[in-house]
Chain A
Amino acid sequence: MKKIGGRLTLLLLVLLVSALSFLPSYQPLYQALPAWARAVLPNKGITLGLDLQGGIHLVMEVDEDRAVEIAVDRSVVSLQDLLVDKKIPVESVKRTAPTTITIQFQNAELKAQIQKLIDDFATFSENESAGSANTIVWELRDAESKRIKDSAINQALETIRNRIDQFGVAEPLVQRQGLKQIVVQLPGVKDPKRAKDLIKETALLEFKMLDEDNQMKMDFPARIPKDREADILKQAESKLPEGSQVLFERAVEKDTGREYRIPYLVKKRVMLTGDVLSDARVSIGQFNDPYVSITFDAKGGREFERITGDNVKKRMAIVLDNTIYSAPVIQERISGGRAQITGTFTTQEANDLAIVLRAGALPAPLKIIQDLTVGPSLGKDSIEKGIRSTLIAGAMVVIFMIVYYRLSGAVADFALVLNLICLMGALSALMATLTLPGIAGIVLTIGMGVDSNVLIFERIREELRGGKGVRLAVDGGYDKAFWTIVDSHVTTLITGVVLFLFGTGPIKGFAVTLCLGIAINLFTALVGTKVIFDIMNQRQKVEQLSI
């Protein structure tokens, strides 16, 4: 007689550990535990995948080339400022290619003077062969271009993380994938569109002066419908003064709620950007209209004071991502480092604006290349249907096994329950994410678990038919089925492992449950049920086996 004690202890131990690991996955029970027990147990178990609880899965790519262009554009602006400060008259300073700045001037004698300015722009080098007597061409150094690209994704990651933290989502995932992709997972988000807008917004805040001298010449209509922006831009193209551009203010008609646009002529020169903000908060004005009050840091506050002081009675546009939020007239020099962004927005929009301003701007626009959004209702629907059909399936198998193999069938059913408990425990311990394909994987392992028992039972029946005694028949059945079960499980395991290594998302979830299930199956089929049979056969001389 083989010893049973050791295997039985092992079996009970595995059961206990599985049950304990599973506890944190079922929160109502977990919360009811005494505090010391919760302190010992891990506090996280199985998480439901996005397909089960609803949420967003986004894969985004940072537009790196655009990040470089934006950086070069900034240099263009500061070069323009420098030229004004040094009173060097030039015709134009422009970005003429993604990494190229071209400076044009009439007086050829100025060339040497301008060439010297490159000392302040160490990230550029002069391309002398491309220049002429009246032009200078600067090229962004390759190393710098590479650095911008590298830092763009990290900066974007950081910014998105900040925004999501402030948006308030339970267990968000923000992760870099490969070289230039960012994966964002927001489970359980109720308002997917708002969340996506919040993530995608570049949120580049700029203060620019209106070009009031030339505004009249442009003959802009007072307001236009929101989809007519392109027409106005086309119209204005020919008479646009150098150094100015057309931007639109977004406004809403109070009584109808219809959106419209107000075109403005705005000087291209950026007076101040959102970099210098230290805080942004929502406040409510006297007419119950929300606005965002912003606080500058020390340097920004001084700058803002100087700019407002220089431009009293002029209009300044507050521009976010090339849309004007408001264009107030500067009444007086503003000191104290505070300002307000008013505009027509709801409290929620004001809230989101404050979030993106606090979190900072993205270095470049993001391109969404994959967007999976599951509404909470579908998630609920799926989980209900998934669980219900799994239960039906389980019940059918349980009944079938008892009808076909009677008491031995009940042993197999016990193995099945054991399987499920161990699998749930293992998934909890790994803090795995359960998805719909994952449930399918569980169902498949149930099928395989049953198959192992069928194999063993058929073997035992054969042995019995051959005239062996019960005990010998059981042992013989297990022995002969052993390698069959191992071989069949290992081949499936090979597929499972490959799926795990090469699969993404849903396939990976499937592979995890499949691989775990196979390993647990081997244990329950070869150790679990055998112990039960051995116990049954140990008591007295068994003459008959219910199989």
Chain B
Amino acid sequence: MLEILGKTNFDFMGKRRYAFMFSGIMVLLGVIGLIQVGRGAANLGIDFAGGTAVQLKFDLPIRIDEARKALESNGLGDAELQEFGLDNKLLIRVKTSTTIEEKVAEKVVAIFKKEFPGNTFVVESSTEIGPSIGKKLQGDALVAIIISFAGIILYIAARFELRFGVAAALATFHDVLAVLGAFYILDKEITLLVVTALLTLAGYSLTDTVVVFDRIRENLRLRRRENEELMINNAINQVLSRTIVTSLTVVLVLIPLTIAGGEVLHDFSLALLGGVIFGTYSSVFVASPLLLLWPASSGRLLKRS
């Protein structure tokens, strides 16, 4: 039997003070990121902010500073450029509140045709989104988040106890905020796909938390007299090898997607990767200690068994 870990007996609950401090910082970053997103000050993708994105693929390498100069001298100084090195690809984003009627995409194409006559290119994709769509998307995303959280708390409260539901939801929220905070610090663009990834990682993190909680529930039923802190510690240690093996396999899946999945999947996979790491951490160090903050209720779990 090949094992990464044998029988372990780590004192996870004893470290909860450090964990809460670290998580507090990450959540704070996340909240700042969230506020900036709400204010429109973060690096919002054009699918939320509205605007134009054009992706060009050139035959020859193109220097990004020359491209920027060309755009500036033609009145598109506020364009953002991003290059995908090996493929001679260039992504140009213009986020101003321009309406689509101004045909920014066509203008960008015309500028590059004029300024780089020796370097032919094809338009790989162009996206133009009116500001009204972005507003609607933001609203939809918010509704989706609130409803899924309510649904999850209700389900877990029904299957476990209310405090498990609330702790799981808080831990999940923590993971989403931590990844959002990391994206904000790294100045990554928050696109619709990144939001999808955030919601997915919420799902993943929940799964992970539920597995740990499930073991805690089982232990609570079996050994009702033991000290709760010890019992939670035991439960975590019992499922630890599963936690690590699972996270490892998911990481194994995500690494190739992040590295070789192409530019569209890159940020998506990166967010998920962060989510797996935080999700695994939070099940052990956030969700479980949160249970200790909330003293056991009348013992619903015990009656069931």
Interfacial residues, chain A to chain B (CB-CB below 8 A): 51, 59, 192-193, 367-375, 377-378, 381-382, 385-386, 388-390, 392-394, 396-397, 400-401, 403-406, 436-437, 439-441, 443-444, 446-448, 450-451, 454-455, 458, 461-462, 480, 483-484, 487-492, 494-496, 498-499, 501-507, 510, 514, 547
5 pairs of A and B residues whose beta carbons are closest in the complex: A369-B130, A385-B262, A378-B124, A488-B207, A502-B144
- Chain B binding surface SS class: helix
Q: Which residues of B contact A382 (CB under 8 A)?
A: 262, 264-265
| Residue ID in chain B nearest A448 by CB atoms | B207
Task: State whether B55 touches A378 (Cβ < 8 A).
Answer: yes
Q: Which of A406, A483, A484, A498 contacts B151 (CB 8 A)?
A: A498
14 additional A-B pairs beyond A386-B262, A488-B207, A488-B214, beta carbons within 8 Å, are A370-B130, A377-B57, A385-B261, A392-B256, A396-B252, A439-B265, A447-B204, A491-B152, A491-B155, A491-B156, A491-B168, A492-B204, A494-B151, A494-B155
Q: Contacts A400-B248, A499-B144, A504-B140 given; indicate if A393 touches B210 (C-beta within 8 A).
A: no
| Residue ID in chain B nearest A381 by CB atoms | B262
CA distance A406 to B2 in the complex (A): 9
Q: Contacts A372-B125, A386-B261 given; indicate if A488 touches B211 (C-beta within 8 A).
A: yes
Task: State whether B249 touches A400 (Cβ < 8 A).
Answer: yes
Q: Which of A59, A440, A547 contacts B269 (CB 8 A)?
A: A440
Number of chain B residues close to chain A: CB under 8 A = 73
Q: Contacts A389-B257, A491-B152, A491-B207 given; indicate if A499 touches B199 (C-beta within 8 A).
A: yes
Q: Which residues of A contact B264 (CB under 8 A)?
A: 51, 382, 436
19 pairs of residues in contact across A and B, judged by CB atoms under 8 Å: A192-B123, A367-B130, A373-B123, A375-B123, A377-B124, A382-B264, A385-B260, A389-B257, A396-B252, A440-B265, A484-B214, A487-B159, A487-B214, A488-B210, A495-B199, A498-B147, A504-B137, A507-B192, A507-B195
CB distance from B139 to the nearest CB of A (A): 9
Task: State whether B245 touches A369 (Cβ < 8 A).
Answer: no
Q: Contacts A393-B257, A487-B214, A506-B193 given; indicate if A374 touches B140 (C-beta within 8 A).
A: no
Q: Which residues of A contact B124 (CB under 8 A)?
A: 374-375, 377-378, 381
Q: Contacts A367-B100, A371-B126, A491-B207 given; indicate if A447 touches B253 (C-beta within 8 A).
A: yes
Task: State whether A494 touches B246 (Cβ < 8 A).
Answer: no
- Chain A binding surface SS class: helix
Task: State whether B128 touches A368 (Cβ < 8 A).
Answer: yes
CA distance A441 to B201 in the complex (A): 11
CA distance A397 to B126 in the complex (A): 36
Interfacial residues, chain B to chain A (CB-CB below 8 A): 1-2, 55, 57, 100-101, 105-106, 122-130, 132-133, 137, 140-141, 143-144, 147-148, 151-152, 155-156, 159, 168, 192-193, 195-196, 199-200, 202-204, 206-208, 210-211, 214-215, 218, 238-239, 241-242, 245-246, 248-250, 252-257, 259-262, 264-265, 268-269, 272
